[in-house]
Amino acid sequence: MIASLRTMTYEELKNTLGKDERIAIWSCDTCAKSCDGFGGEESMKSLASQLRSDGFNVQKEELLVASCYFDGIRNRKEKWVSDGEYDEIDVIIPLACQEARVAMEKLLPDKRIIDDSRTAGLGMLDKNGVCILTDPFEWTGLDASDEGIDLKSAAKKLGMFTGPFQYDE
């Protein structure tokens, strides 16, 4: 599985958005969900609620099993177009890995995609169901370990964040 970290706080995210922009939150229900709840339905709905209460125009909430697959993104785009919703979105907040964001940028070139995550490497769920980073990518400077590195420790070392966007960060 991909181990992803958030690059920004909720306040930083809000500062990238305009109140007049029409927003879609696009969430991954597999790897990103397993990364301390960065993705998944609960995180998506929570972020949508927070943004709406702060006066932002959240138009869509999209949950895909795996948001990094080109075919899944392409199919969702085609559905948005056929439903007349595609032109109603200006910006997409991906609660997904870096690969998903890059794929969205290629397939949705006329939408602004928020750069809110970095893939730190490969991971797995430990015996407690918690994602640990087992094979960090070279850019992290972290060493691979049979025991793995918990995401919170990795995020702290890298100046990043885990889990869902929250008011109190």
Q: What is the CATH number of the domain that holds 101?
A: 3.40.50.2300
Q: Please determine, for residue 72, whether its predicted confidence score (pLDDT) is greater than 80.
A: yes
Task: Specify whether the CB–CB gap between 39 and 29 falls below 8 A.
Answer: yes
Q: Flag whether 150 is in a domain.
A: no
Q: Flag whether 12 is in a domain.
A: yes
Q: What is the pLDDT of residue 169?
A: 67
Q: What is the pLDDT of residue 143?
A: 92
Q: Percent of the chain at pLDDT above 70?
A: 99
Q: Please determine, for residue 167, whether its predicted confidence score (pLDDT) is greater than 90.
A: no
Please give the model's pTM, rounded to 2 decimal places.
Answer: 0.94
| Per-residue pLDDT band at 138 (split at 50, 70, 90) | very high
Q: Flag whether 30 is in a domain.
A: yes
Q: Tokens 């769920």 label which residue?
A: 125
Q: Please determine, for residue 14, whether its predicted confidence score (pLDDT) is greater than 90.
A: yes
Task: Specify whether the CB–CB gap between 28 and 3 falls below 8 A.
Answer: no
Task: Specify whether the CB–CB gap between 81 and 101 falls below 8 A.
Answer: no
Length of the chain equals 169
Burial class, 83, CB count within 10 angstroms (exposed 0-12 / middle 13-18 / buried 19+): exposed
Question: What range does the domain containing 77 cover?
Answer: 2-119
Q: What is the pLDDT of residue 162?
A: 94
Q: Flag whether 162 is in a domain.
A: no
Q: What is the mean pLDDT of the chain?
A: 94
Q: Flag whether 26 is in a domain.
A: yes
Q: Flag whether 164 is in a domain.
A: no
Q: Flag whether 147 is in a domain.
A: no
Q: Please determine, for residue 77, whether its predicted confidence score (pLDDT) is greater than 80.
A: yes
Sign of CA dihedral 4, 10, 15, 19: positive
**Number of domains the chain is built from:** 1
Q: What are phi and psi of 24, to 5 degrees?
A: -120, 135
Q: Flag whether 159 is in a domain.
A: no
How many Cα atoms are found within 13 Å in the side-chain-facing hemisphere of 58? 18
